[in-house]
């Protein structure tokens, strides 16, 4: 069953911005490491950012650091990914995910797929030059 629902993808020109949203059931969102992943055309899925709902801490892949910001609204069980200064290389299907383990505070660095057990269906982001 699909637990997480992403939205906010679309098509923008390079330099533009988008904000992705990920709504999760409260029992999944609270006290877990939440992650954003993406799969670019012809490439494997990669971790982009994490947001730990307990302490509201974040971590990012080097490729998006200083451009993307993960955040969350705990009252709405919703995580966000604000993406600024988008580049054509950011074109990908973006997925949100929640950790398999409750209380997992996110490892250092970008998220790793094996640590996440709940996934959304993805939202497409296309950046044109």
pLDDT digits (tens, 9 = 90+) for 46-101: 999 999 998 999 999 999 999 999 999 999 999 999 999 999 999 999 999 999 99
Cα 121-32-119 angle, rounded to 5 deg: 10
116-128: pLDDT as tens digits: 999 999 999 999 9
Beta strand 68-73 with 78-83 is antiparallel
Q: What is the token pair recorded at 70?
A: 């993960």
Tokens 């949100």 locate to 96
Closest-CA residue to 89 (of 46, 29, 54, 121): 46
Contact call for residues 68 and 82 (beta carbons, < 8 A): yes
Q: In this predicted structure, what is the pLDDT of residue 1?
A: 55
């Amino acid at each position: 069953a699909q637990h997480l629902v992403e939205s906010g993808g679309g098509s923008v020109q390079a330099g533009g911005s988008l904000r992705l949203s990920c709504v999760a059931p409260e029992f999944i969102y609270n006290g877990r490491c939440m992650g954003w992943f993406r799969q670019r055309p012809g490439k494997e899925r990669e971790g982009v950012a994490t947001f730990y709902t307990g302490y509201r801490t974040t971590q990012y892949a080097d490729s998006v650091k200083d451009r993307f910001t993960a955040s969350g609204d705990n009252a709405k069980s919703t995580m966000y990914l604000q993406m600024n200064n988008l580049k054509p290389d950011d074109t990908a299907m973006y997925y949100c995910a929640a950790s398999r383990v409750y209380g997992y505070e996110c490892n250092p660095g970008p998220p790793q797929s094996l640590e996440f057990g709940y996934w959304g269906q993805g939202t497409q982001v296309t950046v044109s030059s």
